[in-house]
Amino acid sequence: MASGPAPTDEVLLTANALTVLERRYLKKDTTGQPTETPTDMFRRVAHNIASAEEKYGASPARLREVEDAFYGIMTRLEFLPNSPTLMNAGRHFQQLSACFVLPVGDSMEEIFEAVKHTAIIHKSGGGTGFSFSRLRPKNDLVSSTTGISSGPVSFMKVFDAATEAIKQGGTRRGANMGILRVDHPDILEFIECKQDLTVLTNFNVSVALTEAFMGAVASDGAYELVNPRNGLPGKSLRARDVWERIVHAAWTTGEPGIVFLDRINAANPTPLVGDMEATNPCGEQPLLPYESCNLGSINLAKLVRGEPLSGTLDQEKLAAVVRLAVRFLDNVIEMNVFPLPQIEERTQANRKIGLGVMGFADLLIHLGVPYNSGRAETIAEETMCFIREEARKASAELAGERGVFPNWEESIYGPRGMNLPQRNATVTTIAPTGTISMIAAASSGVEPLFAVAYSKHVLGGESLAEVTPAFEALMQERGLLTPELLQQVVAHGTIQEIPEIPADLRHVFVTAHDITPEDHIRIQAAFQKCTDNAVSKTVNFPTEASAEEVAQVYRLAYELGCKGVTIYRDMSRQEQVLRTGAQQAAAPPAEPGPARAEPRPRPAAVHGTTIEMKTGCGKLYLTINSDDRGPFEVFGNMGKAGGCVASQTEAVARLISLAFRVGVKPEYIIKQLKGISCHMPAWEKGGGKILSCADAFGKAVERVVFPEANQLAMDFNGSSFGHLGACPECGGALHAESGCVTCHDCGYSQCE
């Protein structure tokens, strides 16, 4: 049963991994101090998941054997389950799934039933996906009230507000995926719904493209829109016009993404049970209504042998880990306490699991293969096909022990398909691994390296160089790693323009921005060939990329068999936020004249007030001093956060101080700052919402200068899911990868 040596109590974790575990996974007391070690956590999870074997008559000795095997693959960092399993297994909560898909019907009762179910799931820490394609279009007839419908986008805002309200309750951030068919009459409004980054802030959105639509794009033809209320066709649209709108919107902000709906349903293992309508928030898990995802990832970096640049993948060891991981994930379904009875029923009926990988970039480095090469594509396909083959064998073994999944007769496998009985309707998924890959000290999912080395922010504002271990080891082995050279690598992130680094290392150590968007898609497509569900992957574009380049990648993804695409053009969302902020903060031009304002000198003594403001980046302490003429200066301190956040705080404080000293009225300053949104808002004890650090400055000035003024009530102008910026927990930089957003400093993730 066990793969590798017998388990010990020693778990070899990096300092980064320990930080992530302490922040997110370990049990804590009422003061926030951990009450378990990483070893305790892995034993807790292994014991809980292994106890599912009791249902099938396992003896105490067998239970211990399975528990030790599960403990072994986790402590050796060969396999880790999705975050909710690590967090909740063996604890009171026991909700082990990361994501769910809920149906949204066309009646008011069905819509708000879905809203209620969404709230329950988000309270449990899960994310949700929806198709809004069943809803009648805007201005359509509502016979029960003789009124007219407000359309899908309007109701999406209701779901968004519900998610926001759950977040206000202090629980884990909720994430949603909203999908609309391309032939829905409201498709043009949907395509544009996330161009304003201050709305639908808790949603990712994707357009469901059909084969008919893709054919019409290719032939430059028209296609019909269909009213879901009665199934009748309406007006026709030129397909290429709609295609170009999708592309331009994605080029502008990264959304909407696209999913190829007919292709997803062609791979639906239980078509007689229902159609696939939506995916989870990151897009890698198409699910039937009321299904959940039960995911885990194998760390390929731990399954290699030989020396770096000339090693091999240990397939025997990989096969053993796959078999254990499949048993583990099937047991998760047994042990899961599902948030809704409908979800439990459907999940148990199909028993879908999603085994994926992390550390693929590390594997390629060990093999001496560049990520942007045909050989890497071959390795991706062969590795994933091997994993799926072994996973299906393991699922068949479980079917022999425990029986096939209940919907076997309604599946493509049953009498009409595969002769090998299966315990699980699907076995493979490539999911985001932002946080668990940090625990495993592995590269994220199937992504390339995001940097060879980067500056990592730590407490107290200090920055340390975080270097890819294989690169550091090889450079040290060759006697080339000097502080000066390392500083260059940190400054660039990439090593391609540093001639002092040997050519063979520059050939292999490529990063996300050293390769073309086409390279990203080709790797995604290679993994998709043997992935039952889908592949979570971000296609990175440089800032200067054109909309046509995005269109080319979309076409290539379709041609190569991908099930969906998520793109991110570097800086695109920051640029959009700056434009929006500039429009909101536009002030009348100053009257012309030769006079230039001069700041008044600082008097010997001023008096002031210090306010603590809770922001998404940490606690912000603001001191506002006044002289006999009114507000004079502001000082800001971001508590324990450092680096970029601290410097921006100081800059804003200096500029406000300068404005005060030249006589700008406080109300003008307040008007400019209040309402500016960033990637993550925060809530104060009294119920007020702080949209950003800039918003905190504005509200602090207002409270001191105009203490009687009414404060803004809570609103829903919050963060944009996937909007890059400063990490809300440590102030580090957020990165787009695997269809999600992750901080490489502290492990914060918006998806896990």
Active site residues: 280, 282, 284
∠ CA 431-724-524 to the nearest 5 degrees?
Answer: 30
Chain centroid to CA 542: 20
> Hey, what's the torsion of the CAs at 396, 400, 401, 405, to 10 degrees?
70
Instruction: Quote the tokens at residue 412.
Output: 């493509």
Closest CA to 297 of 95, 442, 122, 404: 442
Handedness of CA 56, 62, 64, 70 (dihedral sign): negative
* Pairing relationship of beta strands 233-238 and 222-226 according to DSSP bridges: antiparallel
**E-strand stretches of 118-161:** 127-131, 141-142, 147-148
Q: Which of 21, 224, 229 is nearest to 134 (CA)?
A: 229
The three-point CA angle 81-86-87 to 5° equals 145
d(CA 374, CA 405): 38
Q: Which amino acid is at 539?
A: V
Contact 42, 75 (CB under 8 A): yes
157 in Cβ contact with 172 (< 8 Å) = no
Amino acid of residue 747: G
What long-range pairs does 455-458 form, CB within 8 A, spacing at least 24?
Answer: 455/490, 455/643, 456/16, 456/732, 456/744, 456/745, 457/641, 457/642, 457/643, 457/644, 457/730, 457/731, 457/732, 457/745, 458/642, 458/745
Inter-residue contact 10 to 4 (CB < 8 Å): no
Distance from C-alpha of 313 to C-alpha of 363, rounded to nearest angstrom: 8
Classify each residue of 481-511 as buried b or exposed e, where b means 16 or more C-beta atoms within 10 Å of its C-beta: beeeebeebbebbbbbeeeebeeebbebbbb
Token pair belonging to 499? 């001639």
Rounded CA separation 426/294 (Å): 10
As a whole number of angstroms, the distance between CA 192 and CA 195 comes to 5
The residue type of 291 is: E
